[in-house]
Structure 1
Amino acid sequence: MPPTVPNVLTGDRPTGPLHLGHYFGSLANRVRLQREGADLFVLIADYQVLTDRDVAERLTEYTEGLVADYLAAGIDPGRVTIFQHSAVPALNQLMLPFLALVSVAELSRNPTVKEEIAASRQAAVSGLMFTYPVHQAADILFCKADLVPVGKDQLPHQEITRTIARRFNERYGPVFPVPEALLSDTPVLLGLDGRRKMSKSRGNAVPLAAGPDETARLIRRARTDADRRITYEPETRPEVSNLVRIAALCQDRDPRAIAEEVGDGGAAALKKVVTESVNEFLRPIRARRSELGRDLPREVLKRGNERANAVADRTLAQVREAMGTVSP
């Protein structure tokens, strides 16, 4: 069982602005865990941007934008450690012994890796992408995380982390907890196309930093269907039901009640409700973001990187001692 006050590791790749899917899938969980007193580490996985692309474009801009989104969403840097992967060298040193604990066959069977490889449309797969779950294991285990908030699509990665922790402890002695996955109430939010997961790269998302007019424009483009009567039937009417669900999440209400209220109003009325719901929900987040100074995200990262390095160096020293690789 995890301790009363657990260590928690979560994070994002800096590939663009965070959106509603991130908020309901992970950010809301982070704010709740922070409120409950968890020792929360939030990783900006900048090295991992290279898993599915040749270069990491606009990396500084996206990294600082992530920090701004975190702060606007309610993450308190005085209680949470926000840090960059590239600023913590010990994370990459942990990868070497971890790679020795998993086989090529185990990595190649990972369904999440298979999906990411297919989505990348690359002619050849880099070793970085292939070993992505081991990178993630180092990110999780360096701070001895007990809980890892993830979406359902990340559970195979999480299982490899658990395997590595168990095998290290069996081979060298107890160093790492075996972390548990923590699914949010909304593990996957579909995008405005109603068919695929909300994603920055698919152009089907509503960014948290989007203004009211941009939000309205994006929602107007959302897909619906030919039936004027609005109902909440996710299996048979995914596009309409997803819009209903977005409004319901923003209003913290049952989606069926939202659908009943719109009734025969059709797609135009539904999109109006969704737009108003999203804009009202994002209003305080936008206000907090606009008040952030330009230098604050950099200061937050500097402090977070310093703490993460201290924790990672301590863990790496324990790993070396357990493995018998401490220099005389």
Structure 2
Amino acid sequence: METKKRILTGDRTTGRLHLGHYVGSLKSRVELQDTYEEFILLADIQALTTHFDNPRLINSSIYDVTMDNLSVGLDPNKVTFVQQSQVSSIAELTIFYSMIVTVNQLRHNPTIKTEAQNYGYEDLTYGFLGYPVSQTADITFINADLVPVGEDQVPHIELSRKIVRKFNKLYGTNIVEPQVKLSQVGRLSGLDGNAKMGKSMGNAIYLSDTPETVWKHIRKAVTDPARVRTEIPGHPEICNVYKYHQIFNPSEAPEIYEQCSSGKLGCFDCKKRLNTVLNDLLEPMRERRAYYESHLGEVREIIVEGTKKANRIGNENLDAIKEKMFLKI
């Protein structure tokens, strides 16, 4: 039987997941779970780079992130959930890789620069600056072949590939050089008009939100500012609600475009149609999540057993690496 290639993906444990996570990665995880050996990293160490002062949030989010992944249709019998901080080989590889990466390489990483600006960081912590090094260890402790990421994460993966190439050349190791799988959908904009839907921006529709909360967000969504009456022709190409229709309601999007631009469909009715579509998408997720919320022991077992499996693979790979580095006596 042909061995499946491995995928490493995951989420920082800084809160519940939202629609931006769904279109950016969760949806593709479900589609890929039958054809790849998929590992879902519960990235609690990476969460500490920005939330080191809120460990209780990180702890509860380990469960929330797992349940959100399960709610979209990931099968715990097909995918492996891994708690990052409980895998010793990740920590050791992070140290080894840090020996061959320069501070300048990290400082000039465009993603690090952007994230530092977003968080208002002027004096970076060692952990924040070294995020790409830690990420390289995440990917390579199981020799993942493929890493699904958004466009903003590509510089991180390129640095990971450079680290792996240099490490293999130095020590004669056979660490897999990871390949990028780009998300087919870019960042999901916020319905409030912000360029990004995000937890910290207060504009996120969470996968676990109630129908009432979803409608509350959609009702306040920014549309065409020049369209003050239904009969005035709209400009759907600049409307956030229409962008959501294109992503979540593609079959009706052309009709909505025509009706909006000809003044036949008002913004309120357009929002109501989007509300129906999004709640139809989210309702099965709410049902699955409700099951796991009432079976937290089962969720914990999924995480514990997946992490044990990851440790077995990681320790075996690390032993081979240490052998090549002449660290075993």
TM normalised by structure 2 equals 0.92
Q: How does 1:234-253 map to 2 (within 5 A)?
A: 237=238, 240=239, 242-253=240-251
C-alpha change, 1:255 and 1:194, in structure 2 (3 Å) is farther
C-alpha change, 1:112 and 1:211, in structure 2 (3 Å) is same
Give secondary structure in 2 for the equivalent of 1:60: helix
Q: Which residue of 2 aligns with 1:127?
A: 126
Q: Please tell me whether the aligned partners of residues 232 and 255 of structure 1 are also in contact (alpha carbons under 8 angstroms).
A: no
Structure 1 distance, partners of 2:15, 2:256, is: 31
Q: CA deviation at 1:139?
A: 0.2
C-alpha change, 1:268 and 1:124, in structure 2 (3 Å) is same
Q: Which residue of 2 aligns with 1:191?
A: 190
Runs of 4+ in structure 1 off by over 4 angstroms are none
Give secondary structure in 1 for the equivalent of 2:200: coil
Q: Which residue of 1 aligns with 2:280?
A: 280
Structure 2 distance, partners of 1:286, 1:249, is: 20
C-alpha change, 1:182 and 1:258, in structure 2 (3 Å) is farther
- After superposing the two structures, state which structure 1 stretch, 87-96 or 130-139, moved more: 87-96
Q: How does 1:48-63 map to 2 (within 5 A)?
A: 48-55=46-53, 56-63=55-62
Q: How does 1:119-268 map to 2 (within 5 A)?
A: 119-228=118-227, 229-233=233-237, 237=238, 240=239, 242-253=240-251, 255-263=253-261, 264=263, 265-268=265-268
Give secondary structure in 2 for the equivalent of 1:114: helix
Give secondary structure in 2 for the equivalent of 1:82: strand
Give secondary structure in 1 for the equivalent of 2:310: helix
Structure 1 distance, partners of 2:49, 2:304, is: 25
Residue 41 of structure 1, aligned match among 35, 39, 42: 39
Structure 1 distance, partners of 2:307, 2:190, is: 33
Q: CA deviation at 1:252?
A: 4.1
Q: Which residue of 1 aligns with 2:22?
A: 23
1:211-262 CA-to-partner distances (Å, cap 9, x unmatched) read: 10000001112222323334442xxx2xx1x322222322343744432244
Give secondary structure in 2 for the equivalent of 1:295: helix
Q: Which residue of 2 aligns with 1:317?
A: 319
Structure 1 distance, partners of 2:300, 2:199, is: 23
Residue 304 of structure 2, aligned match among 280, 302, 305: 302
Structure 1 distance, partners of 2:67, 2:52, is: 26
C-alpha change, 1:177 and 1:255, in structure 2 (3 Å) is farther
1:173-209 CA-to-partner distances (Å, cap 9, x unmatched) read: 1421111110121131111223322111111111000
Q: CA deviation at 1:155?
A: 0.5
1:277-299 CA-to-partner distances (Å, cap 9, x unmatched) read: 11111111112112222222111
Structure 1 distance, partners of 2:42, 2:252, is: 33
Unaligned 5+ residue runs, structure 2?
Answer: 228-232
Q: CA deviation at 1:131?
A: 0.3
Matched to 1:45, the amino acid is A
Structure 2 distance, partners of 1:262, 1:4, is: 51
Structure 2 distance, partners of 1:261, 1:183, is: 33
Give secondary structure in 1 for the equivalent of 2:202: coil
- How many residue pairs were aligned? 318
Q: CA deviation at 1:60?
A: 2.2
Q: Please tell me whether the aligned partners of residues 136 and 161 of structure 1 are also in contact (alpha carbons under 8 angstroms).
A: yes
Structure 2 distance, partners of 1:67, 1:32, is: 17
Q: CA deviation at 1:8?
A: 0.4
